[in-house]
């Protein structure tokens, strides 16, 4: 086993959210990681489109983008090497084919979406969903205040 750097894409979405009836909003920014640029760009387009439908949210398009980056991770030469290195680890299971793994993730995502209410029905109380995007609870970090002009 060696250590290797793999390319990822970081989706950053910067938005300013105002409570109903208020003229100022608070900036919040979050990041998601993707393995492919296409997945990242697709998610960014969907999120911006959904956020633009809400009159209380302003998306800062200059700060929102998919940026290439890299993360350091353990690299294995073969499945046999992976099995030898990790089979004694608690909860270990042999890696599945990529196609079946994507199907499992997609199925899990769809099932969770079905169990969540749309954010407009929960007054933005997370977790909720906007289209195919799951909105998790806020991190509680401090934010700057923006004003809509």
Range of the domain at 82: 2-88+140-147
**Distances 68 to 29, 37, 147 between C-alpha atoms, Å:** 18, 8, 31
Rounded-to-integer distance, Cα 46 and Cα 34, Å: 15
- Computed from CA positions of residues 113, 114, 119, 120, in that sequence, does the dihedral angle turn out positive or negative? positive
- How far is it, in rounded angstroms, from Cα 98 to Cα 36? 14
* Average pLDDT for the chain: 80
Is the pTM higher than 0.75? The answer reads no
- The per-residue pLDDT for range 67-89, each reduced to its tens digit, is 999 988 888 888 788 888 888 78
Q: Is it true that the peptide bond before 127 is cis, omega within 30 degrees of 0?
A: yes
**Does 10 reside within a domain?**
yes
Q: Does 110 map to a domain?
A: no
In the numeric block, which tokens belong to residue 10? 């970081």
For residue 100, is it within any domain? no
pLDDT tens for each residue of 81-132: 888 888 878 877 776 665 555 565 577 778 888 888 888 888 767 788 877 7
Domain contains 21: yes
Q: What φ, ψ does residue 29 adopt, rounded to 5°?
A: -140, 135
- Would 117 be classed as within a structural domain? no
């Amino acid at each position: 086993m060696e250590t290797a750097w793999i390319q990822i894409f970081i989706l950053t979405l910067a938005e300013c959210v105002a409570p109903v009836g208020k003229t100022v909003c608070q900036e919040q920014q979050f990041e998601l990681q993707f393995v492919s640029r296409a997945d990242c760009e697709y998610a960014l387009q969907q999120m911006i489109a959904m956020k633009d439908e809400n009159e209380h949210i302003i998306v800062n398009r200059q700060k929102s983008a998919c940026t290439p980056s890299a993360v350091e991770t353990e690299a294995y030469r073969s499945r046999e090497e992976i099995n030898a290195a990790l089979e004694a680890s608690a909860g270990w299971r042999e890696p599945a084919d990529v196609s079946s793994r994507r199907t499992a993730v997609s199925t899990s995502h769809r099932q969770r979406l079905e169990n969540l209410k749309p954010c407009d029905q929960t007054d933005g109380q997370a977790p909720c969903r906007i289209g195919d995007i799951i909105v998790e609870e806020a991190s509680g970090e401090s934010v700057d205040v923006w004003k809509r002009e």
